[in-house]
Amino acid sequence: MAREILPVADRKQVRAYARRLTLKYPRALATALALHGLAAVAGLVVPWQLGRLVEDIQHGTPVNVAVVAAAIGVFLLLQGVLTRYAVLASAKLGEKVLAELREEFVDRVLGLPLSTVERAGSGDLITRTSRDVDALSRTVRHAVPETLIAVVTFTITIGALLLVSPLIMLPMLVAGPMIAISTRWYLRRARDGYLRENAAYADMTEGLAETVEGARAVEALGLRERRRLRTDRDIARSYAAERYTLRLRTTWYPAVELGYVIPVVAALLVGGLFYTNSWVELDQVTTATLYAQQLIDPLDRFLMWIDELQVGAASMARLLGVANVPDDRSATTARPAGELLEATDVRYAYREGRDVLHGVSLTVRPGERLAMVGPSGAGKSTLGRLLAGIHGPRTGSVTVGGAPLVELPLDALRGHVALVTQEHHVFKGTLRDNLLIARPDAPDPAVLKALEAVDALDWVQGLPSGLDTEVGSGGLAVPPAQAQQLALARLVLADPHTLVLDEATSLIDPRAARHLERSLAAVLEGRTVIAIAHRLYTAHDADRVAVVEDGRISELGAHEDLVAEGGSYAALWRSWHGTPTATPS
Amino acid sequence: MRSLPEADSGVPDIRSPLHYLWWTARRQTLPLLMGIGFAILWMLVQALMPAVLGKGIDAVTAKDTEGLLLWSGVLLGLGLIQALSGIMRHRMAVYNWLAAAYRTVQLTSKHAAKLGATLPKRLSTGEVVSVGNSDIAHIGNAMDILLRGTGSVLAIVAVTVILISASLPLGLLVLFGVPIMAAAVGPLLRPLHRRQQAQRELSGELSTRAADIVAGLRVLRGIGGEQVFADRYRSGSQRLRQAGVRVSVVESVLEGAQIVLPGLLIAIVTGIGATFAVAGDIPTGQLVSFYLYAVFLIGPMRTLTEAADKLTKGHVAAGRVIGILSIEPEVTGGTGTSEGGVLRDSYSGVTLQPGMLTAVAAAEPDDAIVIADRLGRYADGDVTFGTVELRTLPIEEVRSRILVADNGARLFNGRLRDELDVRGKATDEEVRRALHAACATDIVEALPDGLDAEVAEAGREFSGGQQQRLRLARALLADPEVLILVEPTSAVDAHSEARIAERLAEARAGRTTMICTTSPLVLDRVDHVMYVADGRVLAEGTHRQLLDSSPEYAATVTRGED
């Protein structure tokens, strides 16, 4: 069922975006870098002083030890203070950029074309909003500043080495190729390795969560052994992935660690030999050796974080990819004249070559209540979505007042047609927040009236905090039936001319559902209602019934007429109503 | 290194979190000891480097080429040993981390499966999620830090001994200075953790908000309101940003302090060393060594702070894990046997005749669920199976002979065919027939890979009605002696409901089946209907008979229609 519909941005896009982000606040970036640079310089003073000290003692020059020790202390204090402000400055910048990144992403998600949202399902998007945003946060909070600091410190230390003695620095360069080659080798394999490792680890923890959440089903269906095998298999897969990256590190770590020691040995040995030949001074040898030692830390930081940068780039590619979804509607200047909803010879396919609607034509008069019934998979919901303007038809047209639905801007479309499905999502927030979604300025009396229309007023008033009750994830758990009532109350508040209700009362207790539908009908008097019905009394109460079978409307007419005609609707009705008859199958 | 996972995860010691951690460590004694050995070697080699470097500088000072070659060689050799012992330590650390984490996963998973229906009653989802998300990692971290932690302690001891042999006050300074420096950052940790906690909470809230938007996106797209959500997300995101800055205010002070505090030590040690060197008590090279020792000590010091943190977190995590492992199943069984036959719940009077399709129509839907739970022995009750009390049968046997299929039973991730045929012995023909009976053939046909499709996310990609039909097919394929279906068609359209009711009788021919439902389409097609009100059977007969004889029944099933 993995339906990869949402695109992923390519490397070029990611790079361009990262560059834009980095350079968006040049002053803040320059400040942070300058502070880090100064801190690095302060840190370099101590080995230099030490070198001088060694030289002076060697030559018997009188030294004031207290002054030297105090100077070392002062410079390290300076380094500490500068580091403090440097870290703070880059963290502030990072948080700012990060906030922009995630806000832009959510804006993009909220602007996704309706048809993509409908088709893609929530899985991929949820992964992107949770895992990818988290991964990118880690990268921006830690990896980016750490690598930046490392690069600055490394560069300045190399600069200091050059100042002290280019001659001694020269032999240190032999470590360069060793580190560079092994790192290149490692990075080529690391990203995929870690992605696989993370995925396998996530599979394992998800498997655990599945066993725990579905514990009753595990017991009922006797799945204990199967879950054990699944756990062991997940662990084995995770272990294999871990072993792979461990093998990469087993080659890479010793190579770079040896690469760290070589410059120190080279500085000492070659510097010492040069000193013996009097080409350099003793303080140069000491300082250079200590600097070589001091190079290890930034280099190590840089190498440790660089693959995290790759992971962050992969996440960024998926976040940016959402912007690559092409828009599926092109608003024109067509505006509806009237509210007559008309579908003409409509065909639609989710997958090429497999039409689920085969030339459906249907006219819904303003103010009419139309019920659609039919077996699952017959195309009822698809037709409902086309009538609500969610999808455009492959061929044919769906128009309201003569204007094609897909040519209306979103806001205008929703003033005409709104869709409520059986999906009963309750948003995190108060009940009021949940109801005001479509009409943020509605006053409380209107909200209460809407709740009354869907029979939910008693329930809401029975809650301790009434409309201010916190619901959704982390708040009060709203039972599915009440969630559907809320969805309908939202719709009442939104008050469009035409409503498409796709099994919008399916989770409500049957008897209550019928009462609700009747009170809803009273409020919606004069509105056009297309109800995809799950229970037959909905059809019974409607003005007309459309029976959808195999992507076609096979019967259309008033309830009594269809029953009198004795077709498949009549058979179903009789069976439901308890009159003996041949059963449909 | 033995391959993971272990075939037998063993019986954990769950007397206390410490006992659990100790037991875990004992299960991997050898790799742990080997890892500790490599960690000690690795740290000691690093502790020796300043001395060697000092000797090298001395050789340079003395223009002693032979000595210089010797000490450079030793330094390179130490570097080589450090690289090799370092990677071996790392390998053992990863192995120990994984072994402990995997074992905890195995134990929790096994115990959750054993607890079954008891688990959801005793544990909130949050506690469970925390085990998978962080606790196993914390337990792994607690094992991992044992390696570096031990190495660090020994390195500090080694440096202290070296310094004491050079100068007692210097050694004592380090001996007391290091713990004081490590403790000096302590006051910063509390506000840091508090602010980090606030940041984590806001971050969690924000991702919940984002997930909420995604999950409700289809609802939003149906009726509008995107701007409201964009604004709410933005204000949450800005709050998180502020919290992040507040964290880094403290964090940056900590960073600075971790330079300044050791810096103090470095300055004093170097100063004392310089005094000795000026007085000619030590060679100048050793002065450099002193400086490098002080610098080196920063590492082990940080490791000790890290160790305290990781062991604390590991302890808390182990506490949560044993919290789960110590839950006992609520319902237990005996050792009896039963020939099978009539299944009867004496409190309600619900009686299932063998081989018959019986429906229970309850005025209050919850009553039917309670009865189903007693009949399936998910709750205690006075239930007889044939001639024996159900409670005397082994619980495993009850589960395999009586299947209660409710709407809370989720689909598991995996290949669809495997997830439907949970007992793993159905033929393709049987699978086909079960799908047909559950009216689920069209769902499978619509999938690009058909029965080979992967079910993801607990089948959430299927609509509610589709999930219900797949669950029904799964229950039918399990083919138990007694099948109890709770509201199996509540989310299915009328057309399909009628077909399912029709086909169910055929699919369960000769087997005992009970359906809890109030749908006339289903009730009309069963052998026998029991009407339950206030928890007890009020009337029974066929659907038609009850419609005529019981006005309450008629009111319940015709849904108050006039």
Task: For chain B, list the domains and their CATH numbers.
Answer: 17-325 (1.20.1560.10), 343-557 (3.40.50.300)
**A583: three-class secondary structure by DSSP:** coil
Inspect the interface and report whether the beta carbons of B271 and A77 lie closer than 8 Å.
no
How many alpha carbons lie under 13 Å from residue B316 in its C-beta half-sphere? 11
**Identity at A397, one-letter amino acid code:** S
Structure tokens at B322: 């044993």
Rg of chain A (C-alpha set)? 35
Q: How many CB atoms lie within 10 A of CB A296?
A: 17
Prediction ipTM score: 0.87
Q: Specify the pLDDT at position A491.
A: 85
pLDDT of residue B124: 67
Q: Which tens digit of pLDDT belongs to each residue from B294-313?
A: 889 888 988 988 898 899 88
- Using a CB-CB distance cutoff of 8 angstroms, which residues of chain A are in contact with residue B224? 410-411, 414, 418, 437-438, 494
In this prediction, residue A1 has a pLDDT band, given cuts at 50, 70 and 90, of very low
Rounded CA-CA distance A493/A471 in Å is 19
% residues pLDDT > 90 (chain B):
43
Distance (Å, whole) CA A463 – CA A485 = 15
Contact (CB, 8 A) for B96 and A196: no
Respond yes or no on whether the N-terminal peptide bond of residue A510 is cis (omega within 30° of 0): no
**H-type alpha helices, A322-395:** 380-387
Chain B contact for A242 (CB, 8 A cutoff):
yes
pLDDT by residue (tens digit) across B417-461? Answer: 988 998 888 888 999 999 999 998 888 887 878 888 887 766 666
> Cβ atoms within 10 A of the Cβ of A327, count?
10
Q: Which of B6, B217, B496 to mutate to probe the A interface, most A CBs <10 Å?
A: B217
pLDDT for B472 beyond 80: yes
Instruction: Name every residue whose Cβ is closer than 8 Å to that of residue A467 and which is 6 or more positions away in sequence.
Output: A430, A431, A432, A435, A444, A447, A448, A460
CA distance B228 to B233: 9
Q: Are A480 and A425 in contact (CB under 8 A)?
A: no
Residue whose token pair is 């409307």: A553
B62-117 pLDDT, tens digit each = 999 999 999 999 999 999 999 999 999 999 999 999 999 999 999 999 998 888 88
| pLDDT per position as a tens digit, B44-57 | 999 999 999 999 99
- Which secondary-structure segment (H or E) carries B42? helix B29-61
- E strand or H helix that includes residue A372: strand A369-373
Q: Once rounded to an integer, what is the mean pLDDT over residues A392-408?
A: 88
pLDDT digits (tens, 9 = 90+) for B57-75: 999 999 999 999 999 999 9
pLDDT at A510: 66
Q: Which amino acid is at B528?
A: H
Asked if the C-beta of A576 comes within 8 angstroms of chain B's C-beta atoms, the answer is yes
Categorize the per-residue pLDDT at A263 as very low, low, confident or very high, splitting at 50, 70 and 90: very high
Q: Which residues contact B351 (CB under 8 A, 6 or more apart)?
A: B342, B343, B344, B345, B530
CA A62 to chain B, closest CA, distance in angstroms equals: 8
CB A414 within 8 A of CB A400: no
Q: What is the pLDDT of residue B459?
A: 67
Residues, chain A:
585
Band of pLDDT at residue B125, cut at 50, 70 and 90: low
Q: Quickly state the pLDDT bin for A236 (edges 50, 70, 90).
A: very high
Query: What's the gap in Å between the CA of B448 and the closest CA on chain A?
Result: 8
- The nearest CA of chain A is from the CA of B466 a distance in Å of 9
Q: Nearest CA to CA, how far is A139 from chain B (Å)?
A: 14
A contacts of B561 (beta carbons < 8 Å) = 514, 537
Nearest chain A residue to B436, by CA: A585
Which residues are CB-contacts of B213 (< 8 A; sequence separation ≥ 6)? A106, A109, A110, A129, B220, B229, B233
Helix axes A480-494 and A510-523, enclosed angle (nearest 10): 10
Domains delineated in chain A:
11-165+280-324 (1.20.1560.10), 341-577 (3.40.50.300)
Interface test with B, best of A95, A112, A273, A291 (most B CBs within 10 A): A95
- Which residue stretches of A111-222 are H helix? 114-120, 123-127, 133-138, 144-164, 166-172, 175-213, 215-220
- Report the 10 Å Cβ neighbour count for B188: 15
For residues B504 and A421, the model is more confident at B504
**8 A C-beta contact, residue A361 and residue A346:** yes
**Structure tokens that stand for B282 in this block:** 């030590």
Mark which residues 98-127 of A lie under 8 Å from B by CB: 98-99, 102-103, 106-107, 109-112, 114, 117-118, 121-123, 125-126
Cα A352 to the chain's mean position, in Å?
28
How far does A112 lie from chain B, in Å, by closest CA? Answer: 9
pLDDT digits (tens, 9 = 90+) for B511-542: 999 999 988 888 988 999 999 999 999 999 99
pLDDT band of B40, cuts 50, 70, 90: very high
User: Are B291 and A92 in contact (CB < 8 Å)?
Assistant: no
From chain A, pick out residues whose CB is under 8 angstroms from the CB of B101. none
**In the beta sheet, which residues pair with residue A404?**
A399
Q: Is the pLDDT of residue B561 over 70?
A: no
For A532-558, the pLDDT digits (tens) are 877 777 888 889 999 988 889 999 999
- Residue of chain A nearest B104, judged by CA positions: A208
Distance from the Cα of B127 to chain A's closest Cα (Å) equals: 11
Nearest Cα residue to B557 out of B366, B361, B350: B361
pLDDT at A402 over 90: no
pLDDT at A2: 40
Whether the pLDDT of residue A178 is over 60: the answer is: yes
Q: Which long-range contacts (CB under 8 A, 24 or more apart) does B540-547 make?
A: B543/A578, B543/B359, B544/A578, B547/A578
DSSP symbol at A476: B
Nearest residue to A22 via CA among A297, A307, A299, A312: A312
